[in-house]
A = this chain, B = another copy of it.
């Protein structure tokens, strides 16, 4: 764990340059706008250790699967987040010597990720080998307002000399993925031109034919004057550059403004890329850097209005939660229903793919509460659009009907290749069904059910129907050979969570069928016809719902994670010698599997999802049984436990759980931030505060709040979008104030008292202590 970043409420700040932290910072200081993202690589050349990353949302590479031993059914490829053209590059030479922070002395280095306004800035003084000192001040952003535009301001000031500054802004497509399975480069050049005014470079992927065109232009300004320069142009394989030389007197600042448009064949016709990129670029350049930066600040102000959390009395927590909200908003804007949220967002390559069940379990709740409902809706439609692929996937695995959504995907096809995950971690299907319930319950948008939801629900129910089998011994339906959310168990029988979410899916599907039959009858009839839904299927679901087997320990009154769980030696994590932890780094896989130790919420995940169906006593018994055996070695684990601990009044435990992910990346807890930030976990931290400390739920069309406040905090407030209203909830030791920042009234329940908060009105309630 490295803590080298300065605490600040609105910025992430690194105050000196340590190359050993650089790759971590490259992740943490990443910028993105939901359409492209960029690690905090330096503009100028850097010969030190670096993970270069320029990512275009939805542009991926189907890298040939690499396994030790092939299993039937494995996918042919693993979709890689694709490192694309390096568009930020500006090499700088001072009287012929390259500026390279690995090759010179660096003083007064400050790197800042300004989250309030959405930019990355960097200032430093470089002392070159020959003693020349120059100050550099660089700032860049990718525009929220103009999705295809990135802009950089790069200023150099000679401090103790006068000399020639040579700038080489370039586009370099000769890049590779660090995680390429066979050390292959994934791009081919299509066309390029280096020009005095504009340069461009078009690449295409070796497979799938994604085209990306980058167009760049730049201005050089000295003393407030744009210089007229005659650049030298370079064209090489997958590379274009322009080169200008400017003389700068001591103390005289020279600034290069680089504007780039990155456009892709996802959004433009193949023949129109250069034209589209050029048009976007020229518009941006004409607006100018300052206007673009102003647009950016305005766009971010809007985002913060919807999603900010304020923590009073804990600046470190304040910084952390804003960082998480910032990164989530950088990763997904919800405007394109073909996109989703990769585990590393635009901050690294690791895990490839773009979509895990993280989206439904963690990200949907975040976007439901912090953005207009169409944003979460688009995340759901993404899965709807991939229903045919999910049906193909089920067929491929031998099912006669139904849909199995993939564990990891880019376009709906499975691309993960561990049998115990790919084939067996099928509970993901349940989370996708649950997200439909969650969305409709939260937003009240029942139109979604007939329009999209039912089809997905029916196909998932069909999958569950075929995936269970009737056990003659148990006289019940069982589900054999699954991996539950706790991935520290593989190929188990009757994982309680999976059995439960499967039968819940069927129940909800039947409920939705009834709703549509009653309320949208003609639509209902058309859907039944489209789905070819048969009466016997519905009857079978009813039978499975009524006769599903749930492992249960009568003595303890707890649901059993799976068959045979009680044959294990039950040991508390606190009784393990510390050198065993984390067990995933210290134990062989078999030892982990046969131990009782739990990676992340499993039974408790079910008690969270289906919270309304279980009383507090049941939740308490299960929490008390499982949490002590949970090692929380998934970054997605602590948040669920924080939420349940809040519900149970375990305030210290809740805060402890919250702390375990709050600053995961900022403090590099897991020693892996250099690979990228844990984007989807960030939604979990948000959940810890809003659903945990805030106690936010939606029940019976009311926004329910049951807040408590960590003893370390003076007060905290969060925003909650709810059915057209935007509420600001402020929690102090004594009171809860809900301010409606919009004109729409909102139905709110605080503890057990219902209110209607009128447009632009506020209500205040006394804070109660929540215990069992």
Which residues of A pack against B, CB within 8 Å?
A: 65-69, 71-73, 78, 396-398, 417-420, 423-424, 469-474, 478, 480-481, 490-494, 563-564, 566-570, 584-594
Contact = CB atoms under 8 A, between A and B. Distances in A.
Contacts of A478: 567
A562 to B, nearest CB: 10
Contact of A563 (B564, B587, B591): B564
Contact of A469 (B67, B69, B569, B593): B569
A205 B248 CA distance: 59
Contact of A423 (B563, B570, B589): B589
B480 A564 contact: yes
A419 B590 contact: yes
A584 B66 contact: no
B67 A397 contact: no
Contacts of A472: 566, 570
Given A398-B588, A417-B68, A588-B398, A481 B593 contact: yes
Contacts of A473: 566-567
Nearest to A567: B471
Contacts of A493: 564, 567
A487 to B, nearest CB: 11
Contacts of A65: 68
Contacts of A470: 569
B68 A397 contact: no
Contacts of A471: 566-568
Given A69-B418, A419-B590, 13 more contacts: A67-B68, A72-B584, A72-B592, A73-B590, A397-B588, A423-B591, A471-B568, A472-B566, A480-B593, A480-B594, A481-B594, A491-B593, A563-B563
Contacts of A66: 66-68
Nearest to A489: B491
A278 to B, nearest CB: 42
A379 to B, nearest CB: 26
A240 to B, nearest CB: 33
Contacts of A594: 469, 480-481
7 contacts: A68-B78, A72-B588, A398-B587, A423-B588, A472-B566, A480-B593, A563-B563
Contact of A491 (B480, B491, B569, B585): B491
Interface majority SS (helix, strand, loop, mixed), chain A: loop
A418 B69 CA distance: 7
Given A474-B567, A480-B594, A481-B593, A418 B584 contact: no
Nearest to A467: B594
A32 to B, nearest CB: 27
A568 B469 contact: yes
Contacts of A469: 567-569, 594
A691 B494 CA distance: 42
A206 B98 CA distance: 40
Kindly list the 6 A-B residue pairs having the minimum CB-CB distance in the complex, ordered from nearest.
A73-B588, A423-B590, A481-B594, A480-B594, A471-B567, A67-B68
A301 B322 CA distance: 84
Nearest to A473: B566
A14 B587 CA distance: 53
Contacts of A590: 73, 397, 419, 423-424, 481
A68 B472 CA distance: 38
A72 B585 contact: yes
A589 B72 contact: yes
A481 B591 CA distance: 9
Contacts of A564: 480, 493, 563-564
Nearest to A66: B68
Nearest to A590: B423
A480 B594 CA distance: 6
Contacts of A570: 472
Contacts of A67: 66-68
Contacts of A474: 567
B71 A589 contact: yes
A591 to B, nearest CB: 5
A420 B419 CA distance: 11
A726 B307 CA distance: 88
A493 B494 CA distance: 14
B481 A397 contact: no
A566 to B, nearest CB: 4
Contacts of A491: 420, 490-492, 593
A541 B318 CA distance: 58
A585 B418 CA distance: 17
Contacts of A417: 68-69
A603 to B, nearest CB: 17
A588 B71 contact: yes
A106 to B, nearest CB: 36
Nearest to A73: B588
Contacts of A585: 72
A422 B317 CA distance: 44
A117 B511 CA distance: 79
A478 to B, nearest CB: 5
A582 B67 CA distance: 22
